[in-house]
Amino acid sequence: MTDGLLRHDLEWLPSAPGEPPARRRQSDAWLERWLDTCNDLARLRATNPMLDAVIDEIDGRRIRIGDHWLSDFASCNYLGFDLEPEIIASIIEPVLKWGTHPSWSRLLGSPVLYEQIESELTDLLGAPDTLLLPTITHIHMSVIPVLAGGGTIFLDRRAHKTIYDGTKIASSNGARVQRYEHDDLGHLEELLKAAPGGSRLICMDGVNSMTGNAPDLHAFAELARDHDALLYVDDAHGFGVIGERTADEPCDWGSRGNSIVRHMGETYDNVILIGGFSKAYSSLLAFIALPTRVKNVLKIAAPPYLYSGPSPVASLATAMAGLEVNALRGDEIRADLHAKTKRVLDRMGELDLATPNTSGFPIIEIPVGDPDRIDEVGRFLFDRGIYVTLAAFPLVPRHEVGFRIQVTAANTDEDIDLLLTVLEEAVDRFDLAGVYGERAPSAAQV
Ligand SMILES: Cc1ncc(COP(=O)(O)O)c(C=O)c1O
């Protein structure tokens, strides 16, 4: 790839004084690599209607782009709290009281709403304590470097990009980063055994944002404790969806939506849990579940606590109201979401439409086999009124290039009828039956 779309788009980049742009770009080996890696995505962004769209209007989980209405299966608002009337109504009073945005960094001072949410959340998670910051991205960039110090980070090869970026900052501060094969306890153990002294931080996802599967957290936490390491888990997609197992749970996702640690019956010993409100709770806010002494360190060592603007008051209000709705009706909503997701997965099974999802959680990726067909498949889904996330390389490994369906409680039965009809047509048209199982190379080849 020499004259790809992305390269063309980047021609505005300034060059060093006196240096022509073409020469500067030639000399930037890292930029060359980056351009090559991202060109599929750049081409899709520029040409496919399913990426970088301007959405004109929504009606429930239907969206309008120009004059074309689609059923939205790209939303992470799993519980449908973005559309819940009592959560929407909760915004006005706090905004009248606090204004739209206090703008103090948290170190200067925080509206009492923060303390109320932290206390509710600590209770819900059964964690020692919690700390709120605006986004998970802020947390990874600032907390991973503090926890890693000058020690070793063990990074799951498929950890979310924002975790990976956090480890890059840690490494520029002196930490050593070692990557282990995705979800591979044996490989992680080998690396832990061979690691030098000093702090050890294992970084990985909870419910994976592409496969929809969760790691065996119990086994990873035991390994961490055996090797005096800290297990750092990002459960952005599990919080609000999966929770503690109880005798009267409405479905096998568990009760209360209190995330992967409780779902797997684990403790917070040597475990730091990261989660966010920006998916299931539809609010711009994120948290770290951690011991109070670590919270106090982060209050002076994590830059977003010291310098960043806080979450908008509207988001604090909807997070708080979301916790109340979760306590009152969350399990009922999750049971409904579970049934809708099961309907999709069961029909996919009948159609022999393969997916990496073995968990039954509401993230369902469908690989298309040939990465070059993703553009065509995306256009087909768009034309038929189905909006999904296109999973192009490098968002997923090449053999998993495809599209991701996310089911939310706000998707109606009619949305799902349409999805299933369109998938039925797609299987034959794009020869999708059995793709993941048949054509996936082994992990070692990826
Ligand atoms: C696993 C995971 N972590 C982190 C993020 C980023 O979260 P935030 O928007 O809170 O920064 C995402 C968003 O897609 C995600 O899927």
What are 363-392's pLDDT values in tens digits? 999 999 898 999 999 999 999 999 999 999
DSSP 45-57: HHH-TTSSPPP-E
Amino acid identity, residue 281? Y
Does the CB atom of residue 160 touch ligand 1 within 6 A? yes
Q: Report the mean per-residue pLDDT for the chain.
A: 92
Q: How many residues would you count in the chain?
A: 446
For residues 137 and 81, what is the distance between their CA atoms, to the nearest angstrom? 22
| Dist CA 341 CA 327 (whole Å) | 22
8: confidence class by pLDDT, cuts 50, 70, 90:
low
Strands of the sheet containing 68-72, edge to edge, are 57-59, 62-65, 68-72, 386-387
Q: 142 in ligand 1 pocket by Cβ < 6 Å?
A: no
Establish whether residue 136 lines the binding site of ligand 1, counting it when its CB lies within 6 angstroms of any ligand atom: yes
**Amino acid present at 254:** G
Tokens 């599929």 — which residue?
A: 40
Flag the least confident range among 6-15, 29-38, 306-315, 417-426.
Answer: 6-15
pLDDT at residue 445 in the model: 32
Identify which of 365, 327, 338 has the alpha carbon closest to the alpha carbon of residue 252. 338
Cα 378 to Cα 376: distance, rounded to the nearest angstrom: 5
Tell me the pLDDT tens digit for each residue of 186-203: 999 999 999 999 999 999
What secondary structure does DSSP assign to 126-183, as a single string?
A: T-S-EEEES-HHHHHHHHHHHHHTTSEEEEETT--HHHHHHHHHHHHTT-EEEEE-TT
Q: How far away, in angstroms, is 52 Cα from ligand 1 center?
A: 18
Q: Tell whether the model's pLDDT for residue 4 goes beyond 80.
A: no
Average pLDDT over residues 173-197: 97
**Least confident among 215-224, 386-395, 420-429:** 386-395
Identify the helix (H) or strand (E) that includes residue 323.
helix 313-350
pLDDT at 441: 41
Instruction: State the distance from the centre of ligand 1 to the C-alpha of 179, rounded, in angstroms.
Output: 20
CA 282, CA 261: separation in Å to the nearest integer? Answer: 21
Q: Which of 410, 426, 442 is nearest to 80 (CA)?
A: 410
pLDDT at 15: 57
Q: For 38-54, what is each residue's pLDDT tens digit?
A: 888 888 998 999 999 99
What mean pLDDT do residues 267-294 have? 98
pLDDT > 90: percent of the chain:
83
In the prediction, which pLDDT does 433 show?
84
Q: Does residue 16 carry a pLDDT above 70?
A: no
- What b/e readout covers 389-414, taking b as 16+ CB neighbours within 10 angstroms? bbbbbebbbebbbbbbbbbbbbbeee
Pocket test for ligand 1, best of 75, 76, 78, 137 (most atoms within 8 A of CB): 137
pLDDT in tens, 344-366: 999 999 999 999 999 999 999 99
Q: For 152, phi and psi rounded to 5 degrees?
A: -115, 135
- CA nearest 254: which of 323, 338, 170? 338
The whole model's pTM is what? Answer: 0.92
**77 Cα to the center of ligand 1, angstroms:** 13
- Peptide bond between residue 394 and the one before it cis (omega within 30 degrees of 0): yes
pLDDT recorded at residue 444: 32
Using alpha carbons, select from 424, 405, 426 the residue that is nearest to residue 78: 405
Closest residue by CA, ligand 1 atom 2: 236
Tokens in use for 363?
A: 């993230």
The residues that bridge with 130 in the sheet, in sequence order, are 289
Which residue is closest in CA terms to ligand 1's atom 5? Answer: 136
DSSP result, 100-129: S-----TTT---HHHHHHHHHHHHHHT-S-
| pLDDT band at residue 37 under the 50/70/90 scheme | confident
